[in-house]
Structure 1
Amino acid sequence: MKKSINIMSVLLLFAFVFQGCEDFEEVTVPNFTVTPETATAKVGEPVEFMVDNAPNFLQFYAGDFGHTYKHRNRTNAEGTVTMSFLNSQKWGLGGNASGTLSVWYSRDYDGSGTPEAVSNATWTEITERFNISTLYDFTFQESGLVDITDLADGNTIYFGFKYFSDNTEDRQPEWYFDELSITMDVEGAPAPLTVASKKEPGFTPVDVLGIESSFNAAKWYFDGGKDHWRMRGNSHKIVNEDWLITNAINLTKVNPDKGTPLKSFSEKLESFTHIYETPGTYTVTLVGTNTTIHGSQETVKELTITITE
C-alpha cells in the first residue's frame, strides 16, 4: 500500500511539473491600451499617447506620410513617374558649344560598366524631353520635371547621360551634373514617393573610347569638393565618348512604409509623443508583440486622431 502511495505521489508531482512547464512556455497575447491625451491637436504640437500594460515590443505607425501600417509591405506602386536633374556647361567653342550632352535609356544594358556592354546595349534617346543647358557660366539649369510614366513597366531600366564630341577642331566643353530625382505621385500620398536619387541607386561612369588622361580630364568623375558629377573640359582635340549611367532602376519600386519602435523587451513605456506637420485625420496603428524563445503573439490596435491648422 505504501508503495502504491509513493508511486501516486511521484505521478502527481510529475503532472504538476509538466503542467507548470506548459504554463511557462505559453506566450500571452498582448493586452495593451494606447490612449492619446487628446483626439484633436494642432500642427506642430506634440501629441502625447498614454500606454497601459505595454507588451514586450511596441511599434508605432503614426499614419502620416511614410508611416502608414497598410503600406508596410508595399514595394511597388502605380502612379505618375517624373524625372529631373541639374546640368550646366562651359568652355565649349564653335561646334562644341552645344549638343555634346544627350539623355538615353536602355532595357538590355547589363550594368557591368564596360565599354563593350555600353556599345552592345540598345539605347533610346529622350534628350528632347529635357532642358539641356545652353548657358555658358556653369549656372545649374533645371532639366524640367519630365513625365516618364511611359517607361515604367516594372522591369529594370538604365538611364545614360552621354557626352560625345567628334569635333576635333574646337575646344570641347566641361559639364556639371547633379540632383537626379525620380519620383512617383501616388493617389492619396501627400508628397511624391522617391524612386531614385543621385546617390541611390547611384551612377557608373564609362569611358567608351578608353582615353587615358591625367587629372580626371576627358571623362566623367565625381568631384567630392563640389559634391556633383563633372565632365572636365578637354582641349586635346580628340574624339571623345563618355557615359554617366545610372545603376539599375525599377520605376515602379518604392520603399515600404516604416513604423517607429517604441520599446524593447526590457524597457518600460508609459507614454510617448509624436508631432504631426500636416493637418488631416490620421489612422494611428500600434503593433504590440510578446515574444519569447517559446513563440510570439501579436496584437494590432488602431485609433484616429485629427490634426488641425
Structure 2
Amino acid sequence: MKRFIYAVLSAAIFTSCETSLDVGAASDFEVTTKKTTYAVGEEVIFDVKGSPMMLNFWSGELGNDYGHKEGRIIRPGEIEFSFQCRHNYPNRTGGLMTVWVSTDFNGNRSSFEDVKAATWIEITDRCHLDRTSDPYVSSGIVNVTDLREEGKPMYFAFKYEFDPDKGSTGVIMYINDVLVRAVTDVGPYVFSTDLTNDFLLNPACNADKNPVKSENRGSALIMWPNASTSEHNGVTYTNTKYTEEYFVTSPFEVSKPLDVGPDKPITIKSHSDSRVDSYVHVFSSPGVYKVRFVGMDHSIKEMKETIKELEITVVESND
C-alpha cells in the first residue's frame, strides 16, 4: 500500500513539474527607436518593452546578420603566401633554395617526374630571402592572386638544388610557418594547416639524391645536400653530382567559394539576467540595415521565438 501511495505521489509531482516548465506563446515584446535614420558613429538607442527569457541582437552588419545565421558563403579575395626560413651555414655556395607556384600539377607529390612535368612559376623574387642570415627570417606577405586560375588548385613548392661545380658543400635550409590564406570581407581565411599535413615526409628528388636525406620534421622542412657518401636501400649516394628536389604543398582551392560559417548574434539578455529596457549600438558604415531582436522562451521540451525587425538607415556623418 505504501509503495502504491509513493508511486501516485511521485507521478503527481513529476506531472506538476513538467507542466510548470511548459512554454506557451513566446513572451511578446516591442522594440522602438526615436528615428530611423542615423549617422555613422551615432548612438542608436533601441528601447525594449517586455522581457523574454533570452534576447539576441542582430545588427544586419557583416558577421552579425540574421539572414546568414545558417552560414555564409563568400568568394576568396587576395591570396597571400608566407613562410619563415633559415640559411644554416649561409656561406656554403653549392646549394640554392627557390620558391615556385603551379596550377596544373597533377598532385603526385612523391614523383620527381610528375613534379617536373608541371608548369611552375618562380616567385622567389617576390619573397624576402636573406641568404646571409642564419636565424629564421620571414619571407614577408607574398601576394600571388595574379597566379590564381579559376577552378584550379594552387600548389607551392620549395626547390633545392645542389651543384658541386658551385661548391663542395651546400647551405642547409630550414623552412617553417608556411601560411596560405585568402583575404575576405570577414577576415583572413586560412587554407594551410601545418607542415605535417601540408607536406610529405620527404621531397620528390632526382635519382642522384638520397631520397631520405631531406625531411619534414614537423617543426621544419630540412633541405640539404647529400653527405660525402651515404647508403639507402643498397644505393650509394655522394655529394659529387647535381641533385634537385621539391617539397610540394597539398593543393589549396583558392578559387572556390568559401564556407566561413554562420554569423553570430550578440546576446543582450540571458535567462538569468534582469530585464533589458534599452540597447545601444553604433554603426560604422553607411547603409540600410535590417536589425532584428530575437526573443526566446524555452522549457525542457521546446523553445519559441519572437522576432522584431526594424530598418535603420545609416548615412555618412557631416562632422
Aligned with 1:204 (options 178, 198, 204): 198
Aligned to 1:73: 70
Q: Identify unmatched segments of 5+ residues in structure 1.
A: 1-17, 110-116, 186-190, 224-229
**Aligned 1:1-309 pairs, distance under 5 A:** 25-36=22-33, 39-44=36-41, 46-77=43-74, 79=75, 81-87=77-83, 90=87, 91=90, 94=93, 96-99=95-98, 101-104=99-102, 118-119=109-110, 125-128=119-122, 131-133=126-128, 136=131, 138=137, 140-147=139-146, 150-152=149-151, 159-167=155-163, 169-172=168-171, 174=173, 176=175, 178=177, 180-183=179-182, 191=185, 194-196=188-190, 203-208=197-202, 218-220=214-216, 230-231=220-221, 234=224, 237=227, 241=245, 243=247, 245=249, 251-255=256-260, 256-270=262-276, 271-305=278-312, 306=314, 308-309=316-317
Q: Distance in 2 between matches of 1:173 and 1:139?
A: 17
Local SS of the residue matching 1:286: strand
1:53-85: CA deviation from partner (whole Å, max 9, x where unpaired)? 1322222212222221212223433x3543112
Local SS of the residue matching 1:119: coil
Q: Would you say the 8 A contact 1:58–1:288 is kept in 2?
A: yes
Q: Percent identity?
A: 18
1:4-31: CA deviation from partner (whole Å, max 9, x where unpaired)? xxxxxxxxxxxxxx9xx98974521342
Q: Distance in 1 between matches of 2:303 and 2:173?
A: 60
Q: Would you say the 8 A contact 2:28–2:52 is kept in 1?
A: yes
Local SS of the residue matching 1:207: coil
Q: Identify unmatched segments of 5+ residues in structure 2.
A: 1-14, 204-209, 228-238
Q: Distance in 2 between matches of 1:22 and 1:175?
A: 67
Q: Distance in 1 between matches of 2:201 and 2:73?
A: 34
Q: Distance in 1 between matches of 2:195 and 2:25?
A: 43
Q: Would you say the 8 A contact 1:204–1:245 is kept in 2?
A: yes
Q: Would you say the 8 A contact 2:96–2:162 is kept in 1?
A: no
Corresponding residue pairs, total: 263
1:222-249: CA deviation from partner (whole Å, max 9, x where unpaired)? 76xxxxxx54564665657463635876
Q: Would you say the 8 A contact 1:36–1:49 is kept in 2?
A: yes
Q: Distance in 2 between matches of 1:136 and 1:203?
A: 27
Q: Distance in 1 between matches of 2:31 and 2:151?
A: 41
Q: CA deviation at 1:146?
A: 0.9
What residue identity is the alignment partner of 2:189? V
1:179-224: CA deviation from partner (whole Å, max 9, x where unpaired)? 7353265xxxxx36543255599953423259778xxxx545676x
Q: TM-score, structure 2 length as denominator? A: 0.61
